[in-house]
Amino acid sequence: MAEAIKRLAVVTEYIEETGWKYVGSSLLCANGVTVVLTARDEKRGVEALENLKESGLSHVIYHQLDVTDPASVDSLAGFIKIQFGRLDVLANNTGIMGMIITDPDALVSGKAVINRGVGLWIPREHVSKVNYSGAQKIIGAFIPLLQLSDSPRIVNISSSTGNLKVLK
């Protein structure tokens, strides 16, 4: 097991452009919480890790995670169990909008996405697999490790762009 840590947090899909990326993870690290950030894309995940370390945040680790792949979820849970023995905070930041934006300048609001044709639709089955089933898999995998914490927390981060009404 690694050196003793005060608190441990896992932040899923850290690299996505959300306030959690910029504020949440930085606040956790700045307050002595060791953060395991995850991303599907290994290159972008390592870049995010390097950026955080360059900004002076040393309590951060990267681990690859694809929430749609049970083996990937199990790999992360196994890593946390072996390296740390418990988990204190699980921040589910994984989610997709249902559209790949092809014209970011035209993206003004959720309605603009629907009405102005600024992207390519992602099948709703895949959106559900990531947004619902992915969160369910992650929470299920980490409940046993969270139960070993004296103050476990699950934080689900979402956005209005995940509204079922906007899925085709």
**In the chain, where are the structural domains located?**
7-94+131-160
Q: What is the mean pLDDT of residues 117-132?
A: 63
φ and ψ at residue 105, rounded to 5 degrees: -65, -25
Quickly state the pLDDT bin for 71 (edges 50, 70, 90): very high
**For residue 163, which phi and psi values (nearest 5 degrees)?**
-60, 130
7-94+131-160 has CATH 3.30.420.40 classification: no
Q: Give me 18's structure tokens.
A: 């959300």
Give the separation between CA 62 and CA 51, rounded to whole angstroms. 12
Is residue 159's pLDDT more than 90?
A: no
Note the pLDDT of residue 104: 56
pLDDT for res 24: 62
Among 17, 48, 140, CA closest to 87: 140
> What is the predicted pLDDT for the residue at 112?
47
pLDDT of 146 reads 97
Provide CB contacts within 8 A for 93, sequence distance 6+.
Answer: 11, 12, 13, 14, 16, 18, 20, 21, 157
Q: Which residues are CB-neighbours of 151 under 8 A, at least 6 positions away?
A: 88
Residue type, 46: V
Q: Report the pLDDT averaged over residues 15-29.
A: 56
Q: State which amino acid sits at residue 25.
A: S
- 110 CB contacts (<8 Å, ≥6 apart)? 160, 161, 163, 166
Report CA 140 to chain centroid distance, whole Å: 15
Amino acid at 29: C
